[in-house]
Structure 1
């Protein structure tokens, strides 16, 4: 599908109207929109000179993601209990950018995640940490992205299944950890489908949400981080490809196109198929508990 950039005057005409009822939220909305409009105004001048714009800074994003995978900045120490999440966010972002790390690096990731699997079967936020449904989800997703026999075989599926059943309540819901509360966010239920302007979202991400040093941001004025890099790229992929049933729409240069992602599970459908197919062909060994 042909990509068409909106004109600045059209974007500016859609700014927020508080209808005379100001609040802290509406004032912040107006401030952010003013920054965004200034960015769009400057971009329109640049695009008039360079018709290939907007572009995704693919190389810069890949470089910083690979650096983060090897050595996290010190300010991430507060996320010591979320290390499988960090790995999943980084690997997923690199896969979207079509630049997964080399085999040796991926093997090292597998070995680290093995240390995060607790003896009860689930994955903790780091080695010797208690199992949690969230970090278990992240670890299994990361291993599915890697997709090697080594990655699949590293999962103690028998123990993992037992762990998951210990979290299930009689009403069918799942707790986040043993003794924890039930939370529908971790049941991954689809509540509703939201329609959006595919082109406008791509414009906003590429024009307003790229850090010059690599990585993506929540909105102008915010710092880059791993979480927002992952989910902003995921949103860009969904905006480009939708559910995958129709024709893709890619705004900007052709190299801006990302890999297609499942809009609900946030992982490539073929990765899920590959993992399930492997597990069907390779049942877990029967353990002798004596």
Structure 2
């Protein structure tokens, strides 16, 4: 079931870059937003007509302060990361924004621990096995969204490819990743968590090592082949990390666990893009040409993502093969 859900969420990223490349090449980037509007309206109507409330509703107090603290956390950290490309680290826009985000996050955590009905119960992170899967999911998403930023820019700025060609190059990998999502779920149901959770991250880690090794001289064909390998690993393991992680929680806490995974996914996307952009910009600074600078900055970003995926893989190995002892055996 989780594999099919991951498949659905993977279809749009698979088609998006190619569709965006066609629109930009033929009409201009503003038309992307024009085309999105009717899609959103159709989605709103279909959701309104088809989504049904299955569980019993109950009245709860809405915690406005917690919501504001979450918003400040996201805004501060994301603005700080994104400003790293244009401002020095010890500036109000970078270090100041990050500090505000960290303080807001600490305030939200404190309020959550004191609340009897928190908007997002962080106490589930006391389960170290679940926390390990959340960390692994976070790092995987940072790497994936970082690559989604780096590769099209590399092809256009280093290889001189058009936006359309860049979208077509990543399409096979994106489609394969979408196809592997239900396959990974089937493997999980048949063989257990060990096979997909050991194989998928290993494939992704190997592909990042190849990107790093050939970072200054990647052809479009090379990018396509290596990205296929990465997305096969991503599709096989990403949804299974969520499924296995949620299985470490009691049934009554799984809604909070699912909410935390979704929150982490959104945050990871912003961080992966911002940090990758900052590293690419650092490589471009002072380079003789934009192409040389982009290749150098992309190589730096590949190295950073490789380190994150190595940490992710070690974390998955720990919580899957040698889990922490927890009450109730989960």
- Please confirm whether the aligned pair reaches a TM-score higher than 0.5, indicating the same fold: no
Q: Which has the higher contact order (CA 8 A, sep 6+)?
A: 2
TM-score by length of 1: 0.28
Greater helix fraction, Structure 1 or Structure 2: 2
